[in-house]
Amino acid sequence: MFLHSVNLWNLAFYALMVFMATLGLWDVFFGFEENKCSMSYMFEYPEYQKIELPKKLAKRYPAYELYLYGEGSYAEEHKVLPLTGIPVLFLPGNAGSYKQVRSIGSIALRKAEDIDFKYHFDFFSVNFNGELVALYGGSLQKQTKFVHECIKTILKLYKGQEFAPKSVAIIGHSMGGLVARALLTLKNFKHDLINLLVTQATPHVAPVMPLDRFITDFYMTVNNYWILNARHINLTTLSVAGGFRDYQVRSGLTFLPKLSDHTSALSVVSSAVPKTWVSTDHLSIVWCKQLQLTTVRAFFDLIDADTKQITQNPKKKLSVLNHHFIRHPAKHFEENPSIISDLTGTSMWVPVKVSKWTYVAYNESDKIYFTFPLANHRKIYTHVYCQSTMLDTNSWIFGCINSTSMCRQGVDLSWKAELLPTIKSLTLRLQDYPSLSHLVVYVPSIHGSKFVVDCEFFKKETRSIQLPVTHLFSFGLSSRKVILNTSGLFYNIELLNFGQIYQAFKISVVSKCSAVKEEITSIYKLHIPWSYEDSLTIAQVPSTTEIPVKLHIAQPENDSHVALLKMYTSSDCQYEVTVKTSFSQILGQVVRFHGGALPAYVISSILLAYGGQLYSLFSTGHCLEYATMLDKEAKPYKVDPFVIMIKFLLGYKWFKELWDMCLLPELDAIVLTSQSMCFPLVSLILFLFGTCTAYWGGLLSSTSVRLLSSLWLALKRPSELPKEIKIISPDLPILTIVLIIVSWTTCGAFAILLTYFYYMFKIVHLQASLTTFKNSQTVNPKHSRRSEKKSNHHKDPAVHPLRLSANDAEDSLRMHSTVMNLLTWIVLLSMPSLIYWLKNLRYYFKLNPDPCKPLAFILIPTMALLGNTYTVSVKSSKLLKTTSQFPLPLAVGVIAFGSAHLYRVPCFVFIPLLLHALCNFICSSGPCCFGII
């Protein structure tokens, strides 16, 4: 019956929307590289020693615990406190485990063993009982206060030691990183208790799903504090994102705000981290061996030799983090590197005068210095590029001043090199080094191994090629192409007009090589200059390689840089680079950045259909099908233009003052604009996706009611349609009071769920009764017609109670189906706090704070009344016309204020439901309808 109310064109449209949404979801969940992280293993059995907390603290936080990680002999030795190492505290995230510390803890222990425990780290971990703090923010403040107490407890474990620490380093995974930042907002917290903060896949900018006001308030408190106190915060912070593999927390949310006064914060995507170069999902970021090795190396380089603790020097901290996480020069970190190096010994000095040079080292016995005179090259070329496949950490390239054939000392240029997966490379602009007379490449003596060193001089314009990207709406039907004919080693492909998050492309690189006997490797690096989100692709040539190109962060308005495809190529190969728009990836970007707002658009569409049903009941006396009204009423032009107009008017001072005077919250479109996420067509796409979801959700709901009613009929024969309508039955007040008590004493979401089951029971019962009536009508049509005439004989409700006919029952069922669709989404949005309450039921019987309690107090009596409401008692109401006009502005309000704040959405839904319930009491024939009791 539901499908019959939709024509084939609309059905085809909804099927098309499902297909498009599936493409977007596929790109988000599967459209990325395979997991290239190596698993980190423990060499000995991991042990977690529980740290005894003060009794008052343990009583105040019964669900939380503190542990010390250890393995083997280290764990045995440290069972007897105090400790002697450097404390590091690991904070798990949403539904995380304290045992996730084992990966980095084990790697750090192996590193300490390698240096004979000259330095070592003690890794602590907090057990938050797997709380769902990304979905329920009521416990975030409690976690923050507990971590503060843990830090003080940890430092007490080192009392009396020669090098007792005064602060701890914190590693926070997911929401654990936000809790660590929140420590600074506590009144009694001393900032010097934390000396370093590393966060992994932490959504710093905004919550992934803002399902309650507690989590948004927490975010506002933390971010506002860090912005307003940027000058006074000296905490060195590193945020590492997982890249496109992490579909739970998109990387754009992990980037710390760039403040001019706050320079001690770095944000980077794991695919850009040297020696890591892989994307990680939300969980593998804590065990990915490549990333954990990088983190541990950085931690050991941060140790101050005098204090045997992490250095307090902020410049050194930032220098170490830059070295390991931003640009690695293929050398061990040195705080004050020697710029001048001695070039001595019995080495050969070989002059090279050509502009392009290659040297293949096999089993040489002597060291060789190759010298390149720069005087002649400066007249012709602008840059010099060198690369080496010898990935040791020794200095390998130098600059000589005023030299003819050899020099005793040279400027060590190796610190300006960059480490890549298969080579280390260096590009110099010659005019930046006017004092250099020679470039010197050092080839060490080797035994049994092979490596290749290449150098070439070039003009910048010959290696920088502009490639405009294809238009957003080309849908991959058109492409743009460049061919690299010259035999260079390095190219920069400038991707013009590429800077928005909704742009997504596929770049195809086809390499063709001539007379290639050995395997050759090329590296393609997508470089985004306005954020550290680079990604690398390694290809064996000749081959055809596809590179997905999309952004985590949009290009800032005041940034004029151009995204680059850096190609480290072979001189024996020709490369053809083609770019075309990827429609599936564009849809993936829409889902990735705006998928959390979809419930708001679904509810907005249902509200429009609900308003249409109420108006059809007022104007014609009959309620039309939900699917019919969805096709007729759920139109984007009824919602989006109003939101755009309000956003435009808020640009005027007088309107903004009037807006603030009315105490209205900030428009969600402005919030999205501040995050470079506001694009007019996105709202249209989301509205179409929302309408599609509302349609198929209505189909599922209608089918479920029919199946349950059939099951009801199979188990128990229901009574016939009610002969008299009683809005307030004798048991209704008792049921309402019981549910309100349940909400007050336990959890508001639990009471809402029970109310939902009650309302569904009423609908199933009505459907079963109507089915029974129709079956009996088929068996005995004459008797049914007499009953129908008898029930309709008395039309004056002032004389006789209201009676329910079959047509009224069908109208009522249509209306109830739409109301149940709305109620379903309210229940879904309240589920996280219910799950949190159930998980912590052994500790707390009452959820406090409870984000759903105020809603439950209003929704319970409203739905109790609506469960006994029929169209026959509503269509004569004076309030019906007004009620039918409310859903339209409320549908606009849902998009304007609920797309980025989902917890506000139920507030817009219960208003028309409440007015609908009140229609039973305000009738055209008098102040009150008959048949209430």
What distance in Å separates the CA atoms of residue 353 and residue 6, rounded to the nearest whole number? Answer: 79
- The DSSP secondary-structure symbol of 37 reads P
Instruction: Name residue 666's amino acid.
Output: E
Nearest 5°: the CA angle 581, 582, 587 is 125
Q: CA nearest 347: which of 431, 304, 407, 267?
A: 407
- Maximum distance among all alpha carbons in the chain? 120
Residue 19: partners with Cβ closer than 8 Å, 6 or more residues away: none
What distance in Å separates the CA atoms of residue 169 and residue 190, rounded to the nearest whole number? Answer: 14
pLDDT for position 778 = 64
Architecture of the structural domain at 46-326: 3-Layer(aba) Sandwich (3.40)
3-state secondary structure 599-653: HHHHHHHHHHHHHHHHHHHHHHCCCCCHHHHHHHHCCHHHCHHHHHHHHHHCCCH
Phi first, then psi, for residue 902 (nearest 5°) are: -60, -25
Instruction: Name residue 6's amino acid.
Output: V
First to last CA, the chain: 33
What distance in Å separates the CA atoms of residue 492 and residue 602, rounded to the nearest whole number? Answer: 45
pLDDT for position 802 = 57
Catalytic residue numbers read: 174
360 forms bridges with which residues in the sheet?
A: 452
- Between strands 348-351 and 237-241, the pairing is unpaired
Token readout for 399 is 């600059």
pLDDT for position 573 = 87
Phi first, then psi, for residue 420 (nearest 5°) are: -120, 170
Q: Are 5 and 569 in contact (CB under 8 A)?
A: no
Q: Which residue has the tokens 């001048």?
A: 340
- Between strands 303-304 and 418-419, the pairing is unpaired
Residue 328: partners with Cβ closer than 8 Å, 6 or more residues away: 274, 275, 418, 419
Tell me the domain boundaries of the chain: 46-326, 340-461, 463-590, 596-776+803-920
Nearest 5°: the CA angle 201, 203, 205 is 140
pLDDT for position 803 = 62
What would the DSSP string read from start to end of 756-814?
HHHHHHHHHHHHHHHHHHHHHHHH-HHHHHHHHHHHHS---TTTS-----HHHHHHHHH
Spell out, as residue ranges, where the chain has pLDDT lower than 70: 1-6, 258-263, 345-346, 363-365, 404-405, 448, 515-517, 717-719, 722-726, 777-804, 923-933
Q: Do the domains 46-326 and 340-461 sit in the same CATH topology, yes or no? A: no
- The DSSP secondary-structure symbol of 118 reads S
Q: Is the dihedral of CA 15, 16, 19, 21 positive or negative?
A: negative
Q: Which residue has the tokens 């007040």?
A: 733
Q: CA nearest 916: which of 868, 876, 874?
A: 874
Token readout for 698 is 């209505």
What distance in Å separates the CA atoms of residue 331 and residue 306, rounded to the nearest whole number? Answer: 23
What distance in Å separates the CA atoms of residue 111 and residue 661, rounded to the nearest whole number? Answer: 61
What distance in Å separates the CA atoms of residue 237 and residue 262, rounded to the nearest whole number? Answer: 10
CA 532 to chain centre: 17
- The CATH number of the structural domain formed by 340-461 is 2.60.120
Q: Are 866 and 763 in contact (CB under 8 A)?
A: no
Fold classification of 463-590 (topology level): Jelly Rolls (2.60.120)
Q: Is the pTM of this model over 0.85?
A: yes
Q: CA nearest 896: which of 641, 660, 657, 681?
A: 641
Taking phi over 0 as left and psi of -120 to 50 as alpha, with beta for the rest, 5 belongs to: alpha
pLDDT (tens digit per residue) in 199-247: 999 999 999 999 999 999 999 999 999 988 888 888 999 999 999 999 9
